Structure 1
Amino acid sequence: MSDDKVCSHHKNKRRKLLRRCCAGFLILAFLVLLAVLIIWAILQPKEPRFLLQDATVFNLNVSAPNVISTTIQLTISSRNPNSRIGIYYERLRVYANYNNQQITTPTGIPPVYQGHKDVNIWSPFIFGANVPVAPYNGLLLGQDKSNGGVNFKFKIDGRVKWKVGAFVSGRYHLHVTCPAFVPIGNSKNTGIVVGNAIKYQISRSCSVDV
């Protein structure tokens, strides 16, 4: 047998072996993916549930038609409704919106793992010092305070990962919106005086998008 035939024979063997390895890898990857999808379908992961419990207002001042200063402490609870799936929270940021305009800088919440059926409670401060806004928003906020209440949207943006046994999923974006009517200046709901601030009970469910 000539050297050319021997080389050609070895090349064909290597190609067949490479094809078998690739086919085996693809089959294994497919089976793993299929198993994960079946487990995922059986477990049926549910989104975490968020509740805005209260808002403590230290400062909400309109110093000019287009300048707002805000200091508010929120109490927010998060519950994992899943009995077999844990949740990792990462890069959570909380801020306040008024009339579709952000009026505070984002405040971070430390990363945390939430076990099955567990509840976490956070009490972040959110601040906005002399934040420029659209002039009509400054005027509208002043009017709302005079009328006895302000509609806010407190938002949480971040990422979550799901944990099933030893398996941890990739990151998913988390968007939470907590609409809240805070009865500032309402003589029928004066809230609870806490030092130089007033705490208002909200108890409002938030919408969650993952």
Structure 2
Amino acid sequence: MWRGIRLQLCLLLAYPILWFIFCPKDPKFIITDASLTQFNFTNHNKTLDYNLALNITITNPNRKAAIFYGKIQVASTYRNKVFSIVTLPFEPFGQCGKNRTISHHIPLKGSKSLVFGEREISQFNSETVAGVYSIDVRLYVGIRVFGGYFKTRHSNPSHKIDCKLKVPLQSSETSTNRFTFKTTKCRNDISLQTLKQRAESVQFFLGDSTVQVLLVCIYIFAAVRG
């Protein structure tokens, strides 16, 4: 009995530690600039007119692993309402170790029919006065990682990368005088999701309670790793 308990404890400690040290790190997505020149909502016809441009930097932080990217879609939301979905006109590309790809001026422009409640309209009006809007950008990216110390490989055909932005309206005198866009790191949990699936796959052998503790360990190490 005690031998089994010690084995489980070793697995709990070894699995996230080995992953922390040896497995390839996730690519880093950063919004380095966001230019908003139009963001108008007309309540009587329920239409949002927008003109947003993004600069996105994608970095491979690994020395011994290559990352390959497939189709990239950019979805923009305001108050949990999607107002723009754009597929970037990129061919699939790869990054060798310690490489960086910079995409300048990705245009998101158009009009979208949206229905906001009174609370959302009040929040929109408040942000209009302030000259800064809370816009969420989600990237859907096909990613494949090859290499690392253990020659590991994992892939996800359409993973979600979340970027929560505070974007000043350039035409607003208030935002021009007081606010500038701050570089924003996006939330990326590709390996975390992969590890969660692997931990749940060994549930039969380790038991429910052990797997729950293992998942907690994984989340803690993921938070430390960043």
Shorter chain as denominator, the TM-score bin is 0.5 to 0.7
Question: Aligned pair 1:85/2:98, yes or no?
Answer: no
Count residues with an aligned counterpart.
Answer: 164
* Equivalent residues of 1:88, 1:113 under 8 A apart: yes
How much does 1:133 deviate?
3.1
Structure 2 partner of 1:29: none
Structure 1 partner of 2:34: 55
Choose from 171, 175, 181 the match for 2:166. Answer: 181
Structure 2 partner of 1:67: 47
Question: Aligned pair 1:140/2:119, yes or no?
Answer: no
Larger CA Rg, structure 1 vs 2: 1
- Write out aligned runs for 1:2-41 (5 A): none
* Equivalent residues of 1:95, 1:156 under 8 A apart: yes
* Equivalent residues of 1:62, 1:142 under 8 A apart: no
Partner SS for 1:104: strand
The one-character-per-residue Cα deviations of 1:83-114 (angstroms, maximum 9, x if unpaired) are 11111111110121111111112232512211
Structure 2 partner of 1:17: none
Inter-partner Cα distance in structure 1 for 2:87 and 2:52? 11
Q: List alignment gaps of at least 5 residues for structure 2.
A: 1-17, 191-226
* Equivalent residues of 2:73, 2:85 under 8 A apart: no
How much does 1:132 deviate?
2.1
The one-character-per-residue Cα deviations of 1:127-175 (angstroms, maximum 9, x if unpaired) are 341332324435532331112311111110121011229x794631421
Inter-partner Cα distance in structure 2 for 1:202 and 1:178? 12
Structure 2 partner of 1:118: 99
Choose from 188, 197, 219 the match for 1:208. Answer: 188
Structure 1 partner of 2:139: 156
Structure 1 partner of 2:199: none
* Equivalent residues of 1:149, 1:186 under 8 A apart: no
The letter for the 2-side match of 1:56 is S
Inter-partner Cα distance in structure 2 for 1:160 and 1:186? 41
Partner SS for 1:140: helix
TM-score (norm 2): 0.63
Partner SS for 2:113: strand
The letter for the 2-side match of 1:83 is R
Choose from 96, 112, 120 the match for 1:130. Answer: 112
The one-character-per-residue Cα deviations of 1:37-63 (angstroms, maximum 9, x if unpaired) are xxx967411111111111112321112
